[in-house]
């Protein structure tokens, strides 16, 4: 069985990250992004690297003082079920803790996977107070719009489940 390491992404990883995300984006499992968006968010991204190259990725995007989102979580098909996704999520949660974030959000079709990591389906769809909500409305980030469940992102989020983990 091959091994992998989790490390911060580098700009040279962007083509591999795009290649991992592309089939999932075409199936509407992940949001499609322009190449420039990957470069702009490279500091948020972590990759799983095997001797064959980048075989997984995931990002932690801070939304507010106490809130971050796990996004762009993907693994190469032949790496599914081998602990790679678990290792990426654990690393992203470790990063959230180090940044002082107390809540982590995800929008996912993989409910059981995230439940195994302690996430719960969001019962309260207004997970932030009105003042924070009005501040978040000013964001141009699509993930923030998804978190707020804004109408403009509804076509992109149909069938996804909003989940939250309290750290």
Q: Where are the domains of the chain?
A: 5-166
Looking at domain 5-166, its CATH superfamily turns out to be: Gcn5-related N-acetyltransferase (GNAT) (3.40.630.30)
Q: How far apart are CA 83 and CA 26, in angstroms?
A: 24
Give the pLDDT confidence score for residue 144 in this predicted structure.
61
Residue pLDDT, tens place only, 11-28: 999 999 999 999 999 998
Q: What is the pTM of this model?
A: 0.84
Q: Classify burial at 4, counting beta carbons within 10 Å of its beta carbon; exposed 0-12, middle 13-18, buried 19 or more.
A: buried
81, pLDDT greater than 70: yes
Average pLDDT, the chain: 86
Of 49-63, 65-79, 88-102, 120-134, the poorest mean pLDDT is in: 120-134
Q: How far apart are CA 51 and CA 111, in angstroms?
A: 30
More confident residue, 123 or 98: 98
153, pLDDT greater than 60: no
Q: Give the number of other Cβ atoms within 10 Å of residue 155's Cβ.
A: 8
pLDDT tier at 39, thresholds 50, 70, 90? very high
Chain-centre distance for alpha carbon 119 = 13
Chain-centre distance for alpha carbon 36 = 17
């Amino acid at each position: 069985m091959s091994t992998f390491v989790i490390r911060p992404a580098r700009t040279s990883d962007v083509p591999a990250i795009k290649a991992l995300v592309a089939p999932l984006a075409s199936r509407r499992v992940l949001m499609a992004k322009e190449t420039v968006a990957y470069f702009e968010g490279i500091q948020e991204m972590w990759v799983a690297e095997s001797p064959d190259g980048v075989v997984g990725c995931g990002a932690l995007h801070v939304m507010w003082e106490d809130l971050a989102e796990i996004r762009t979580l993907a693994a190469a098909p032949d790496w599914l079920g081998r602990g790679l996704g678990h290792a990426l999520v654990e690393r992203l949660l470790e990063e959230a803790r180090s940044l002082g974030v107390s809540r982590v959000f995800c929008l996912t079709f993989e409910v059981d996977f995230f439940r195994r990591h302690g996430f719960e389906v969001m019962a309260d769809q207004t997970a932030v107070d009105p003042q924070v909500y009005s501040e978040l409305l000013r964001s141009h980030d699509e993930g923030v719009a998804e978190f707020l469940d804004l109408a403009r992102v509804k076509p992109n989020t149909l069938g996804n489940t909003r989940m939250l983990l309290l750290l």
